[in-house]
Structure 1
Amino acid sequence: MSLASTTARCPIDHAALTGQTGPTGCPISAGAAEFDPFADGYQQSPPDYVRWSREQEPVFFSPQLGYWVVTRYDDIKAVFRDHETFSASIALEKITPTGDEANAVLASYDYAMNRTLVNEEEPAHMARRRVLIQPFTPEALVEHEPMVRRVAREYVDRFINDGKADLVDQMLWEAPLTIGLHFLGVPEEDMAQLRQYSIAHTVNTWGRPKPEEQVAVAHAVGNFWQLSGKILEKMRQNPDEPGWMQYGIRKQKEYPEVVTDSYLHSMMMAGIVASHETTSNGIANALKLLLQHPAVWQELCDDPSLIPSAVEECIRHNGSVAAWRRIAMRDATVGGVHIPAGSKLLIVMASGNHDERHFADADRLDIRRDNASDHLTFGYGSHQCMGKNLARLELQVFLEEFTKRLPHMRLAEQRFDYVPNTSFRGPKHLWVEWDPAHNPERANPAILQQQLPVRLGEPSKQTVTRPMVVERVTRITDDTVLLRLVAANGQPLPKWQPGAHIDIECGDTELSRQYSLCSDPADLSAYEIAVLRDPESRGGSTWVHDQLKAGDTVRIRGPRNHFRFDETAKRAIFIAGGIGITPIAAMARRARLLGMDYEIHYSGRGRALMPLLEALVAEHGERLHVYAKDEGQRADLTALLATPHDGVRIYACGPERMLSALEACTAHWPDDALRIEHFQTEPPTLDPSKEHAFEIELKDSGITLQVRADQTILSALKGANIDVQSDCCEGLCGSCETRVLSGAVDHRDVVLTRGERDAQDRMMVCCSRAAGDKLVLEL
């Protein structure tokens, strides 16, 4: 393959090559040649270690590892989603081949680790998953909450008055193991051995043991295998006892071909590792991360209702499962890179969780991040971790115990070390210290009785709010006020891009309204929104105008953006009507800073009633065209947009009548030239006499649901315990956008462009429906 042809296919810097080539003949970059997941840099922070890859070469071949490495969010999710092309069969394969002597040791123990839910393929995988999943549902896990709380309390009691502790040694290793054993239904008498064997299993599968270490590791793994078998036999004597393993034994009687003897043995061993080590590491990582950010830790202690969202953010930012593996069953393309059949892939979820393309300001720890639960730490699709909600339960309870009883806890001076491996990570030790004289329970023993509700399986966007203080309210026209909002905790606010909006909770009601940000995105000390008093208001604008004043506290969600500004366009035409100028103002400012060719067409009832007009005139000069109705001026949109031009984007926000006219006079433009932001819509209603029932197949989850004529797709999904982000439920905010794989969509939202609707590859499940009898969704 010539360098010229390779350069056309590979997104790498060919000016800095090593002279090596990969399996496809593609030159290997210096970063790819140096990649070593067993190096200390990867162990300390996988996202930082592969930052270069996310930015420059998101899919590369590692000659040291012999794997293709995938580091961006969308590419990782695509690999997880396509389980037919990318098989999970190598997920438990030793990443470092074992020598003959160690193999002989394993054979002497009759070690025969079989397929488990982690590494088996269809159709066996989904059949077993469906049979065995019930104990992992949020509803079933409720019965384990008292046990989790009891274990957490007992371990903290042991060192609460010491003033110093290694949380890993004294709690975070054993406590989750104890909980895991209870959940599995395993007796506790072999706990010390299980701890030793679990580490050995990790090193054996995902680590790089030296030749002289492999034999010792093999003995430990063999003993782990035999002990698992002995415990399983004990369980068979009492199959009606509580526990997931006993549940599996009972299910074996109903489905003997699905839940086999060999599978139960493998499931036993894998279940101990999965319920123990990943959760232990996850809690240690979360506490380490929070204590490294004292202001965030204090905020969590002051407002423990944030614990569920903090758990999701900690799992995203510093999860215990850094990477997973797949093998390509056929030739494929990932991130524009050709992957030959038979190739092995290391998919670095920890890197995807820090991808700025999906998580704004991704390196920042933000326990109010409204899409934190989009993280990939639990995987995605049909192989998503079954135990995810058990891990969430433990993390929430443990964080509640520590924030309640040791809010004054701090990290001691130390270096953090990790067991070198590609996939699982957590510190070997976590030393903390505090002054026992300041333990809150000494002054107020009643705090030990306080208990917060555990929340499992709730999408972040619905539950996470950010308290903001109204710094000032400025009347900018007779019927419009400009609100300047600052964070209640005084911290910088999350980054945002022009076109973004925030949701404001209006008072004590459940009313929530979306308002576009119109301030400078570079100013993260405050958000500004302009709010028009709308005579047709359903409560939002009236509440803002009549109730809010400087010094008040409000709660917001976001920012989020479904009206994105394309910075690569040749030219931009901005069209605004009245209060619709708010997102346009931020976009136009960005266009000016970029040196882009642009013009603004702003219509209103009169200059005195046009928000932000004075600032726009000063900032944009002759590029701004003003049409004031009381001066007899009116924008001629048909003439303005008569001739389509390549590379031109039209951005519009304003009254529905104006937007409808724009859609008509741009019908001859390219499909995605016009981008519209609606700031009002009618709540969707369903008339069962005019609707029809249909079927939705959830491709990634492997289930099929019926949607009644009087039911939205969103409600059907929630009824089946499928996590879907949602907010406005009016087809206005875009939160519930879902990929459509097949079937015709009856679009009823006001978010998608004409081209996006025609493509029939996405929909808003809160309001849109099937035009036919069936839809296949990427869920």
Structure 2
Amino acid sequence: MTTETSATAPAAAHAAPGIDLFSQEFAADPFPVYAQLRRSAPVHYDPATKLWLVSRDEDIRQVLLEPATYRNDNALGSVVPLRLPALRILDRAGFKTLPPALFNNSGDTHPVLRGAVLRLFSAQQVRAALPMVERITHEELDLMAEALDTTGHHDFAQGPARRIPVRVMLEMLGVPEEARADITTVADWTDAFITLFWGRTDKDRQRELALQVADFYRWLSELATRSDAPDDSLLGALARVRMPDGSPVPPEVAVAVCSNLMVAGHVTTSQMISTAVYRALESDGQWRALAQDPGLAGGWTEETLRREPSLTAWRRVTSRATTLGGVDLPEGAEILLMFTSAGTDPDAYEEPERICPMRKAGRGHLGFGLGRHRCPGGELARVEGRVVLSAAAARFPDLRLATRERPPFLELVSFRAPTRLEVTRTLSRTQGTPYAAKGSTAP
């Protein structure tokens, strides 16, 4: 297929299903659409978002391994243009656009900033953080136990899955106790951030979200100016980093790095945990298997990252005219790499729809990306997923979904997970075996 020179107006496109990337129907079950895209239009132009949708594993890997051709400069721009009221609110807070930091940086400052973050999330640092992760997990599961004893049910997605990653990231960033915002407030801020920039919202909703994002930005700006952060924290590391010209990290760049990590460290990890717990509870007998063998939690986490990564898709932009998957792309073509589709590509994985904790492919999936922009916090997220899943299954072996209805899923271009996950405990022997929910593809 050939295209015009315009990055947003191709002359033709392969036949493909009608797609609404923001719909609940697509969010709840995107797999049939992915399968049809891979078969009929693996590089497909979506006129609604003006994005080229890339759905095959091999093509996505090619893009990720050619960062000079496929740059990440557009990764943090809003998918839907922001309206004037929202822009004014952000401008008053000093937040116009996030400067290049980690996820939107193809320049020479990226290795310097990434290096500081990689040291913070090194294997050694993650091992050292394990007791902290375990402590926070057990504290949150204590609160969940109280709720179950009192009311008989609990929302796992809004409880442990949402709160644990926020608390862990506040520790890893080195935010002093007296400077910490309420856990729920921080979670609300990061949720507002992704909804504003990756959702389809009207003017009034944008204004509401912008007010929260502005508060988030002000809070991060105050943190970036503090001088009492521990040396082994991100804020402490950024204070010591020097840019390529020898200058200190500008405050707005420090804020951008912190916002990148707070959003990634909370949102994607929270959503990974929610999805992993949902699929384990949905699958006949799997939750009890995890309770009996905690060692399965690591494999279950990896399979969740492969099959249903919370970062479902990410953007790139071409720096020159190129060909991808047999499709000619002009310079400036904006691309959406569909990681969930890659993880369910039958050309890359045997029985890709099946969740198999013992799968030989192991960590070879794209749940954390690939190449120079691979997620630097991947090991910490893995630890959190493994710890929470194994601890929750051991603590509540009789946990089950409170309803057979499929939970609502987040309707954003790049993020997907259950937004609510009501759970309860088995009340009788007849309720003791977890059921397979309608439409389940897990074993």
Query: What is the 5 A alignment of 1:238-317?
Result: 238-240=228-230, 242-252=232-242, 256-257=246-247, 259-317=249-307
CA-CA distance at 1:230 after TM superposition: 1.4
Residues 60 and 68 in structure 1, CA contact (< 8 A), matched pair in contact too: yes
Structure 2 residue 133 is matched with structure 1 residue 143: no
Query: Paired residue for 1:203?
Result: 195
Equivalent AA in structure 2 for residue 124 of structure 1: T
Distance 1:30 1:78, change over 3 A: closer
Equivalent AA in structure 1 for residue 213 of structure 2: V
CA-CA distance at 1:27 after TM superposition: 4.1
Distance 2:248 2:413 in 1: 31
Equivalent AA in structure 1 for residue 311 of structure 2: V
CA-CA distance at 1:258 after TM superposition: 6.7
Residues 41 and 49 in structure 1, CA contact (< 8 A), matched pair in contact too: no
Distance 2:212 2:393 in 1: 37
Query: Paired residue for 2:342?
Result: 352
Distance 2:60 2:207 in 1: 35
Query: Paired residue for 2:396?
Result: 406
CA-CA distance at 1:372 after TM superposition: 3.4
Equivalent AA in structure 2 for residue 208 of structure 1: R
Query: Paired residue for 1:425?
Result: 416
Distance 1:320 1:41 in 2: 17
Residues 75 and 334 in structure 1, CA contact (< 8 A), matched pair in contact too: yes
CA-CA distance at 1:407 after TM superposition: 1.7
Distance 1:251 1:408, change over 3 A: same
Query: What is the 5 A alignment of 1:709-748?
Result: none
Q: 1:155 aligns with which of 117, 135, 140?
A: 140
CA-CA distance at 1:71 after TM superposition: 0.3
Q: 1:177 aligns with which of 144, 148, 166?
A: 166
CA-CA distance at 1:256 after TM superposition: 4.8
Once the two structures are overlaid, the 10-residue window that deviates more, 91-100 or 159-168, is 159-168
Residues 239 and 246 in structure 1, CA contact (< 8 A), matched pair in contact too: yes
Distance 1:345 1:255 in 2: 32
Distance 1:319 1:240 in 2: 32
Q: SS where residue 281 of structure 1 aligns?
A: helix
Structure 2 residue 204 is matched with structure 1 residue 220: no
Distance 2:144 2:53 in 1: 43
Equivalent AA in structure 1 for residue 204 of structure 2: E
Q: SS where residue 158 of structure 2 aligns?
A: helix
Once the two structures are overlaid, the 10-residue window that deviates more, 250-259 or 330-339, is 250-259
Distance 1:28 1:72 in 2: 15
Distance 2:217 2:32 in 1: 36
Query: Paired residue for 1:108?
Result: 92
CA-CA distance at 1:224 after TM superposition: 1.0
CA-CA distance at 1:253 after TM superposition: 9.6
Q: 1:26 aligns with which of 6, 12, 29?
A: 12
Q: Rg larger in 1 or in 2?
A: 1
* TM-score normalised to structure 1 length: 0.51
Residues 128 and 258 in structure 1, CA contact (< 8 A), matched pair in contact too: no
Residues 316 and 372 in structure 1, CA contact (< 8 A), matched pair in contact too: no
Query: Paired residue for 1:575?
Result: none
Distance 1:409 1:170 in 2: 15
CA-CA distance at 1:302 after TM superposition: 2.5
CA-CA distance at 1:263 after TM superposition: 1.2
Residues 46 and 322 in structure 1, CA contact (< 8 A), matched pair in contact too: no
Q: SS where residue 340 of structure 2 aligns?
A: helix
Query: Paired residue for 1:376?
Result: 366
Q: SS where residue 52 of structure 2 aligns?
A: strand
Structure 2 residue 85 is matched with structure 1 residue 117: no
Distance 2:139 2:185 in 1: 21
Residues 36 and 65 in structure 1, CA contact (< 8 A), matched pair in contact too: no
Query: Paired residue for 1:132?
Result: 117
Query: What is the 5 A alignment of 1:462-477?
Result: none
Q: 2:186 aligns with which of 191, 194, 201?
A: 194
Distance 2:181 2:84 in 1: 33
Distance 1:147 1:254, change over 3 A: farther
CA-CA distance at 1:300 after TM superposition: 2.6
Q: 2:26 aligns with which of 14, 36, 42?
A: 42
CA-CA distance at 1:179 after TM superposition: 1.0
- 1:547-586 CA deviation, whole Å, 9 max, x = no partner? xxxxxxxxxxxxxxxxxxxxxxxxxxxxxxxxxxxxxxxx
Distance 1:127 1:48 in 2: 41
Distance 1:307 1:39 in 2: 31
* TM-score normalised to structure 2 length: 0.89
Query: Paired residue for 2:314?
Result: 324
Distance 2:427 2:100 in 1: 49
Query: Paired residue for 1:76?
Result: 60
Query: Paired residue for 1:610?
Result: none
Distance 1:329 1:76 in 2: 16
- Which is richer in strand? 1
Distance 1:266 1:149 in 2: 29
Query: Paired residue for 2:81?
Result: 97
Query: Paired residue for 1:363?
Result: 353
Distance 2:348 2:243 in 1: 45
Query: Paired residue for 2:224?
Result: 232
Distance 1:28 1:55 in 2: 11
Distance 1:322 1:27, change over 3 A: closer
Distance 1:118 1:99 in 2: 24
- 1:119-173 CA deviation, whole Å, 9 max, x = no partner? 1013221232224311111111111111110111011112325242111222211
Distance 1:243 1:212, change over 3 A: same
Distance 2:13 2:227 in 1: 60
Q: 1:55 aligns with which of 39, 60, 72?
A: 39
CA-CA distance at 1:382 after TM superposition: 0.3
Equivalent AA in structure 1 for residue 185 of structure 2: Q
Unmatched 5+ stretches in structure 2? 430-443
State the 4+ residue runs in structure 1 displaced beyond 6 angstroms.
none
CA-CA distance at 1:93 after TM superposition: 0.5
Once the two structures are overlaid, the 10-residue window that deviates more, 45-54 or 311-320, is 45-54
CA-CA distance at 1:88 after TM superposition: 0.2
Distance 1:104 1:225 in 2: 14
- Which is richer in helix? 2
Q: SS where residue 157 of structure 2 aligns?
A: helix
CA-CA distance at 1:261 after TM superposition: 2.5
Residues 184 and 243 in structure 1, CA contact (< 8 A), matched pair in contact too: yes
Q: Relative CO higher for 1 or 2, CA cutoff 8 Å, sep ≥ 6?
A: 2
Distance 1:436 1:35 in 2: 42
Percent pairwise identity:
27
CA-CA distance at 1:25 after TM superposition: 1.6
Residues 271 and 310 in structure 2, CA contact (< 8 A), matched pair in contact too: yes
